[in-house]
Structures are given as C-alpha cells and as structure tokens.
Chain A
Amino acid sequence: MAAKSNLKNMALSLTLVCLVCSALLGVVYAMTAEPIRKAEEAKVAASIARVLPDFEGQPSLESVNVDGIDFNYYRAPGAGYAVISTVGGFGGPLSLMVGISEEGIIVNTVVLAHSETPGLGAKCTSDEAFIDQFKGWDPAVSRLAVVKDGGNVDAITASTITSRAYAKAIANAVSVYSKLAENE
C-alpha cells in the first residue's frame, strides 16, 4: 500500500529517490569520464590526420585572436596548421577543421559539427566533388566564395547557403593562417 501523502512522507521519498539517483549518476559519470575524453581525443586526432595527412606526431592546441574572434588551431610543425573555424550555416553552426600547409595552400577540410538539412546541405560532409575541390586550393589565386558571389567555389546543388558558409569558414581559417604566418 502506498504511503500516506503527508509532507513528511513526500519530502522523504523524493529526497531518497534523488539521493540514490544522483549517487548512481555520480558513479557512472566517474566511470565514463575517461572513455568520453578518449573518444573526443580520438575524433580530433582522426580529423587532424585527414586534414594534414603528412603529419605524424602530437600537434599542440593553441589559440589566436583575429579581428576580435578567438580561433583554436593545432600547430603541426613541418606540416602546417589545422584551424578550427565555425560559422553560421543554414540550420545552425557549421564547424570545420581546415588543414593549411606552411606555404598557405589548403590541404583538406573536414566537417566537425553541423546541423544542415539531411539530403541537401548535409551533403557537405559526403559530396566528394564539393569537398575535393578544396584540396590543394591556393587562396592567393582562387577566390573562396561560391560562383554566384563571384568566387571560384562550385556550390552543392540546391544548397547555396551551406556552400557559402563552408567557403566562409575556409576563408576565415585562411585569415588565421595569414596572421600566424605574419607573426613568424
């Protein structure tokens, strides 16, 4: 039979349930903290391996301020920089990692996080023709903007806003590179 709904019983049962639940969550949190950290590190390492395939070793995370915005980047001595660049996409923030060689040539790009429309803008993670056009891109020669805006980037069909954001994110990463190259 259920306990009577008086103040004492109600407070007691809620407190007890919350105590047990938080204790359980605390234990699981402590147990999973390490694997979660490792999974995140593995993801970053995999992204760096894709944008700077020639680099072997442990890149160091640094940050730089360009025009009032802080950018995080990984310095990979001998190979270049892996810059994390986030811009507003169609469905929310679009976050890229852009690998730039020490000569300022774009090596490769990879999407870290996005919320673009499935089947349309989300193709920026899988459309090879779109992604591969940035490999070996020289920002000094070709303009990082979609063809519609007078640049050289071929947009994903029916996803101009996403393509525009993608190009903008790379352009921002290039400006980070310029600042870094200037300082050295």
Chain B
Amino acid sequence: MSKFGLVTKGLLKENPTFVLVLGMCPTLATTTSALNGLEMGLATMFVLILSNIVISLIAPVVPDKVHIPVYIVVIATFVTLLQLLMQAYTPDVYETLGLFIPLIVVNCIVLGRAEAFASKNSVGDSALDGIGIGIGFTVTLTVIGIVREILGSGSVFGWKFIEGDGMLAFVMAPGAFLVLGYLMVLFNKLAKR
C-alpha cells in the first residue's frame, strides 16, 4: 500500500467508526457538539500515533504471551501523559471531556491498531497508520457532533442560527444512536459506489 493510501484509508476504506465500528463508547458519549467531537478525536489521535510508533518499535522483542499487557501499559502511559498535559495546559477542554480521556485506554481502536497493524509493520508505516485512522476518527466524530449540534441545539461549533432549543433528544443518548445509525447507512451507501 502506498504511503498516501496508509493515511487516506482511515477516512474511507477502514473508517474506524463507520466501517470497523470500533470505539463506540466515546463516539456516542462525547459527540454532543461539534467541538466536543473534534477534541475527543484529536485526543485519541495523539494516543494512537504515539502508541503505534512505540509498539512497532518494541513488538519484535516482546514475548508473544505477554504482548497484550505490554501494549496496554504503553497505551495507558500515553493516555495518562495526555491527561496530565491537558489538565495543566487546557483545563477547559479537560473539564468537558473529563471521564472520557482515561477511557481512551480501553478504546478498541487504539489496541486494535496496535495488534492489527503496528505490531507487524515498520515504524514509519505505523505512524502513518496512526495519523490516518486518527484523522478518520476525528473527522467522523466531528461530523456526528455537527449533525447532533444542528438538530439538538440549533448551532454549529457554538454559533447559534436558530432561537431557543432544537430537538433535545439529539443531544442525549438516543439521538446519538439515531444519528450514528443514519450516518452509517449514508456512508456505506456512498462508499459502495
């Protein structure tokens, strides 16, 4: 696969949300607005790129039977690092995402890419894979966030275009499932062409 293909596959062919259907918990919970979705996507991308790089470096020497615990320790380290840095330098973002930052540790996408890609490929390719899947995840979360924010709050990225409230259900959990479901249908229909 070309280097360019490694980055773009995360958007379409291996879109983590619509095609691989991984990491649904943060996807549903943090996309109440476009900005929240974007921030969550970027946070996950940060962890994904770094863990992919480190895991592709150490994978050749880690004994098979302990490779999952080793990967999890690496991922958890980067998540904790991110958490400390966000708390220190972007306390507002940390407050909105709060609980979902530590949950990146158990996000299937991160361990999934470590297992399926980083452990078998070179450092450079793994970094590109992290960037690609990370961009795919970020874009998808932002799109879901935009749709939910438009329907639920009548605004985009906090910019209000209607008076009063939207359909509140879309800001809450049921709306998350509805939007995700319809977007998935739409995405797969368009992607098939």
Contact = CB atoms under 8 A, between A and B. Distances in A.
Interface stretch (B5-13, B14-22, B73-81, B136-144): B73-81
Q: 10 closest pairs, A vs B, by CB? A: A35-B88, A5-B65, A32-B88, A119-B171, A21-B77, A5-B63, A39-B91, A32-B84, A119-B168, A10-B66
Interface string A104-145: 000000000000011110000000000000000000000000
A178 B11 CA distance: 60
A14 B153 contact: no
B106 interface: no
B84 A36 contact: yes
Interface stretch (B54-62, B124-132, B178-186): B54-62
23 contacts: A1-B60, A2-B63, A4-B63, A10-B63, A10-B65, A13-B63, A14-B66, A14-B69, A14-B70, A14-B73, A17-B62, A17-B70, A18-B73, A21-B76, A25-B80, A25-B81, A29-B84, A36-B84, A118-B32, A118-B171, A118-B172, A119-B172, A120-B168
A116 to B, nearest CB: 12
Interface residues of B, number: 31
A5 B70 CA distance: 13
A117 to B, nearest CB: 6
Contacts of B59: 2
What is the interface of chain A mostly: helix, strand, loop, or mixed? helix
Interface of A: 1-6, 9-10, 13-14, 17-18, 21, 24-25, 28-29, 32, 35-36, 39-40, 43, 117-120
Contacts of B67: 2
B81 A3 contact: no
